Amino acid sequence: MSDIQSSLAKTFDSFISQKVNSISPSGVRKFFELLSSAEEVVSLGIGEPDFVTPWHIREAATRSLQQGYTMYTSNYGLIELREELAKYLELHYGLSYDPQSEILITVGTSEGLDLALRATLNPGDEVIIPDPCYVAYSPCIILAGGVPVMVPTSRENDFIIKASDIEPRLTKRTKIILIGYPSNPTGAVMSKEELNKIAELARQYDLLVISDEIYARLVYGVEHTCFASLPGMKEQTILLGGFSKTYAMTGWRIGYAVANSQFIEAMVRIHQYTMLCAPIMAQAAAIEALKSGESDIEMMVKEYDKRRRVMVKGMNDIGLPCFEPKGAFYTFPSIENAGMTSEEFSEKLLMEEKVAVIPGSAFGQCGEGFVRCSYATPLTNIQEALKRMGRFVNKYRKS
C-alpha cells in the first residue's frame, strides 16, 4: 500500500463504527473467498441445500407475480401466510399462536435473529450461546449492544449445550439464552430431557430464550422438540424459523419469528422502519410450501439421511473420528489425527486435494480440532471428497 493509500484507509476507518470494527469477518466467508480462486474443487463447505426449490412452490410465486402482486404487504406479513404458520405450529408442536399478533414474517431467519436481539437487549446485557455455534450469533449480539457469553460444548457430550454448564455462567446481567438446534455446525440435536433442564433454568432465573429452529425438519431417526412447547416456555421463548433449509429456499429470503405479542410488537417496531416487510412473492411461495410441501421435505430428508450415513462411516474409516449427527446437514469430524489446526487443515486440503471444508474454529474456540463437512451435495461428490481426504489424512497422520 502506498503512503497515500494507507492514510486514506486510516481516514475511512474513522468513519466505521466501533461496534462494526469490533466484530471480525466471518471465518466461513474468508474461506469461500479462498475457494473462489481454486479450480475443480469438491466442496463440502456448503451451508445450503443442493436441491432447487420444488416446482410447485416456484409456480406459486410466478402465479402471484402474473396476478400483479408486486406491492408491500402488512409489516407482519400476509395474513394468509401467518394463518398457515399458526396451523403448522399447532399441527407439529401443539402450539397455539394468534396469527394477528404473535407471528411476524421476516426476511429470513437472519432478520428474525437480529430483530429478537435488538428488541430485547440493553447495552451490556449478556447472552448465553453454545460454543461452537452458528457464525452470526456472536456478531448479532454485539451489534445489538449485548455481550456474548460462550458455553463450551464438547464431542464427549455430542456437542449438546448443558444446563449444568450454563448455570455457573449466569450473572446479574444475563438476559437471554440463545440456542440453535439441530446445530450448525455440528448437527447435534437437543434431547427433550436436556431442553427441560434449560427450561428450568429459564424459569428459575427469569431468562428469555431465543430458539433458532431453522433445521427443525431436518432430523434423522429422532424427534425435534420445539422449545416453546415445553411447560411454561411459550411465554418466555422467541421461536425463530425459516424456509431456507426445509424447502430449499435460501435465495427467497423468508423466515418467521413467533412469540408473545409484546415481543412481536417490539420486533415490528424495528422491522417496520428497516425492512418494512418480506418480499411478497417469497411470501406467496411460502404459503404454497406450508400447504403442499410435506412430500418435498420427506424426499429431501431421505436423501440427506442416505448421504449422512455414507459420510459418517467414511470419515470414521479414513481416520477422522466423527460423532453421529442427528440433524441439519453437517458432520463435524475430529482432525486431531492430522496434527494441525483446523484452519491449516482446511487450507492444505483445499490446496493439495481440492476439497473444501470449513475450519471448526470459524464457529468458536471449541470448534478447534474439527472441520465442518456438509452433505448438502450429491453422493458422488461425497464419495470423491472422502477418497481425497483419505489420501490427505494418510499423508499427514501423526505416527
Ligand X SMILES: Cc1ncc(COP(=O)(O)O)c(C=O)c1O
Task: Copy the grid coordinates of residue 274.
Answer: 428497516
Strand-pair category, 147-152 with 126-131: parallel
Choosing from 64, 73, 109, 346, the residue that interacts with ligand X (CB under 6 A) is 109
> Site for ligand X (CB under 6 A): which residue of 27, 139, 242, 369?
242
Residue 42's DSSP bridge partners are 355
Using CB under 6 A as the binding rule, whether residue 180 contacts ligand X is answered as: yes
The string of DSSP letters for 365-394 reads GGGTTBEEEE--S-HHHHHHHHHHHHHHHH
Residue 160 one-letter amino acid: I
User: Of 120, 211, 236, 244, which one interacts with ligand X (CB under 6 A)?
Assistant: 244
Considering the complex, what minimum distance in angstroms separates the CB of residue 204 from ligand X? 27
SS3 state of residue 137: helix
Where in 193-222 is the site for ligand X (CB under 6 A)? 212, 214
47, 130, 148, 360: residue in contact with ligand X (rule CB under 6 A): 47
Q: Is 108 in the site for ligand X (CB under 6 A)?
A: yes
Confirm or reject binding of residue 184 to ligand X (CB under 6 A).
yes
**8-state DSSP, 258:** E
* CB nearer ligand X, residue 112 or residue 333: 112
Stretch that binds ligand X, among 32-40, 103-111, 154-162, 266-274 (CB under 6 A): 103-111
Written as one string, the DSSP assignment of 41-109 is: PEE----S-SSPPPHHHHHHHHHHHHTT--S---TT--HHHHHHHHHHHHHHH-----TTTSEEEESHH
- Measured CA to CA, the distance from residue 94 to residue 226 in angstroms comes to 10
Cβ within 8 Å of residue 364, ≥6 positions away = 130, 131, 132, 133, 138, 150
Confirm if 177 and 128 have CB atoms less than 8 A apart. Answer: yes
The CA distances from residue 282 to 59, 63, 101, 267, in Å, are 11, 12, 21, 20
- Give yes or no for residue 45 binding ligand X (CB under 6 A): no
Q: Using CB under 6 A, pick the residue from 76, 93, 134, 159 that binds ligand X.
A: 134
Alpha carbon distances (Å) from 260 to 189, 239, 266, 302, 386: 25, 10, 10, 35, 46
Using rule CB under 6 A, residue 187 touches ligand X: no
* Residue whose CB is less far from ligand X, 126 or 212: 212
279 lies in the binding site for ligand X (CB under 6 A):
no
Contact between 353 and ligand X by CB under 6 A: the answer reads no
Instruction: With CB under 6 A as the rule, give the number of residues binding ligand X.
Output: 13
Least gap, CB of 255 to ligand X (angstroms): 4
Per CB under 6 A, the segment of 105-113, 158-166, 170-178, 379-387 that binds ligand X is 105-113
Angle, CA 118 vertex, CA 163 and CA 97 arms, to 5°: 70
CB-nearest residue to ligand X = 108
139 is a site residue for ligand X (CB under 6 A): no
Orientation of helix 280-292 relative to helix 79-93, angle to 10°: 30
CB-nearer residue toward ligand X: 116 or 349: 116
Give the residue from 244, 249, 242, 288 showing the smallest Cα distance to 53.
249
229 contacts ligand X (rule: CB under 6 A): no
Contact range with ligand X by CB under 6 A, out of 18-26, 68-76, 106-114, 217-225: 106-114
Q: Which stretch binds ligand X (CB under 6 A): 73-81, 108-116, 258-266, 275-283?
A: 108-116
Main-chain dihedrals φ then ψ at residue 55, nearest 5 degrees: -55, -45
Q: Identify which of 137, 336, 44, 339 has the alpha carbon closest to the alpha carbon of residue 151.
A: 137
To the nearest whole angstrom, how small is the minimum distance from the Cβ of residue 374 to ligand X?
10
Q: Give least dist CB 18 to ligand X, A.
A: 26
Q: Based on CB atoms, which residue is closest to ligand X, 113 or 393?
A: 113
Judged by CB, which is closer to ligand X: 134, or 332? 134
By the rule CB under 6 A, 283 interacts with ligand X: no
Query: What is the binding site for ligand X (CB under 6 A)?
Result: 47, 108-110, 134, 180, 184, 212, 214, 242, 244, 250, 255
